[in-house]
Structure 1
Amino acid sequence: DGAPGNVVQLEVFMEAQCPDTSRYGFGRERQYGSRRGRDMCRFVRSQLMPAWKALSSTGRVDWQLVPFGKARCVERSDGDFDCTCQHGPNECILNQLMNCVIQAIQDPDRYMETIECIQGKPNLDSAIEKCIAPSQSLSVNQMQDCATGPNGRKLLALAGAKTASLSPRLTFVPWIRLNGDRVVDALYDLPGNLCKLLEPAPLACS
């Protein structure tokens, strides 16, 4: 609704794949275990996207997505990177694709739905066909080259450096920060937690 007020910084440290299905509800963090991956996907669909759809028009949330999670990147002598990801090589490629999309578009209002689409896809071919090809803002060839090449690995390593700088350090995915502070409850009610920090609250919060 464009009313004046403060701006809240939202950072979501995430990863691209769900090793399991997404049909179950949230457990609390101590109960997650093997459900962690499916809840990463569930968070994107049941919390992040509704929050974005409700609040993006206010211009009062600084949306930052950092696709890396519990990956690891090591720089090689030639300047390229070797990266490994929690759920295997496909997740690294999809994390890289997400970072490529974010770099190419830059505006969250234009890339958020593409990131949601990539989330949980089984492999690059599926993500390209269903998420990149329909986009008018992205080139299939450029995104495929980026996701599988040195630029994608460099972008993933940069996301890793940002993730490594967290204090306290990331032990759980998704890791959500509001105005620089980790907020565990945002995993279960992101719109409500954003609205608490928006002063005055926009109409979308009422």
Structure 2
Amino acid sequence: MFAAATVLVLLGLAAPVWPADPVKLQVFYSTLCPDSMRFVTTQLYPTWSKYKKFIDLDVNTYGKANITWDGDEYNFSCQSGPRECEGNLLINCAQKHVTNMDKFMAFSYCIMDNGVAAEAASECADEAGIDLSGEIDTCRTSKEGLELHKITGEKQMALDPPLHYVPWIIVGDEFSDANLEAAQKDLVKLIKSEYKGDDWEDCGK
């Protein structure tokens, strides 16, 4: 490939650009965790907004919640209290019912940036251009929302190694402490280092 590119340069032609699969990025977080809020607002959302075509993003809102069963019924307790559970359910419901990823991510960013979880729902829905009434409101106040939260929790519980910190960040197919630390410092740099194509664009330049 190097020789072919050299010939093209000598002929005054542009070298071909070789794209690659987007980098897999899984994030597990909770809505009132300070470290989660910091990561989503300063790293995840800005990076995804600019470089989304290079990222295969999977976000999961659960955190260090616990499920309590009473017969066939269940409920949750969250590390930062009931407001965090409400925020988690809100994000899970929005993720299901907002099919436009740009709008979902804008909504999630706004919720995390406000720092008051579901109390910012109306303001953030307006800002992101989504309809909060109807499916999302029904979901977050019904068994549907609880079920979505439960499914996210089961997915999180299946992680290997198990989550012990939020946000829990997996780049590629395997977790590493190095990537967890690097993602929180400079996610753009990490994604760029993991991307295998040569069509990376520094869109901000």
TM-score bin (small chain): 0.7 to 0.9
Q: Distance in 1 between matches of 2:43 and 2:127?
A: 24
Q: Distance in 2 between matches of 1:51 and 1:135?
A: 18
Structure 1 residues 92-103: aligned runs within 5 Å: 92-103=85-96
Q: Any conservation in 2 of the 1:104–1:138 contact (CA below 8 Å)?
A: no
Q: 1:48 aligns with which of 15, 38, 44?
A: 44
> Is residue 169 of structure 2 the alignment partner of residue 173 of structure 1?
no
Q: Distance in 2 between matches of 1:152 and 1:131?
A: 19
Q: Distance in 1 between matches of 2:133 and 2:67?
A: 25
TM-superposition CA deviations, 1:77-130 (whole Å, max 9, x none):
34x431110100110010000000001124433311101111253253x32221
Give the aligned partner of residue 202 of structure 2: 204
> Is residue 85 of structure 2 the alignment partner of residue 111 of structure 1?
no
Q: Distance in 2 between matches of 1:52 and 1:88?
A: 29
Deviation at 1:76, TM superposition (A): 4.5
Q: Any conservation in 2 of the 1:14–1:175 contact (CA below 8 Å)?
A: yes
Q: Distance in 1 between matches of 2:59 and 2:103?
A: 13
SS in 1 for 2:24: strand
Q: Unmatched 5+ residue regions in structure 2?
A: 1-16
Counterpart code for 1:10 = L
Deviation at 1:145, TM superposition (A): 2.3
Q: Distance in 1 between matches of 2:164 and 2:76?
A: 18
Distance 1:106 1:72, change over 3 A: farther
Q: Distance in 2 between matches of 1:108 and 1:142?
A: 17
Q: Any conservation in 2 of the 1:16–1:91 contact (CA below 8 Å)?
A: yes
Q: Which consecutive aligned stretches of 4+ in structure 1 deviate over 6 angstroms post-superposition? A: none
After TM superposition, the structure 1 stretch with the greater mean CA deviation from structure 2, 104-113 or 183-192, is: 104-113
Deviation at 1:38, TM superposition (A): 2.0
Q: Distance in 2 between matches of 1:118 and 1:44?
A: 10
SS in 2 for 1:167: coil
TM-superposition CA deviations, 1:131-162 (whole Å, max 9, x none):
12444433324322211211111100011011
Q: Determine what percentage of the aligned residue pairs are the same residue.
A: 28
> Is residue 159 of structure 2 the alignment partner of residue 144 of structure 1?
no
Aligned length: 182
Q: 1:62 aligns with which of 31, 34, 56?
A: 56
Q: Any conservation in 2 of the 1:133–1:140 contact (CA below 8 Å)?
A: no
Deviation at 1:46, TM superposition (A): 1.0
Q: Distance in 2 between matches of 1:50 and 1:3?
A: 25
Q: Any conservation in 1 of the 2:44–2:187 contact (CA below 8 Å)?
A: yes
Task: Using structure 1 for the length normalisation, give the TM-score.
Answer: 0.80
Task: Using structure 2 for the length normalisation, give the TM-score.
Answer: 0.80
SS in 2 for 1:180: coil
Q: Unmatched 5+ residue regions in structure 1?
A: 18-36
Q: Distance in 2 between matches of 1:93 and 1:186?
A: 27
Q: Distance in 2 between matches of 1:166 and 1:16?
A: 20
Counterpart code for 2:67 = C
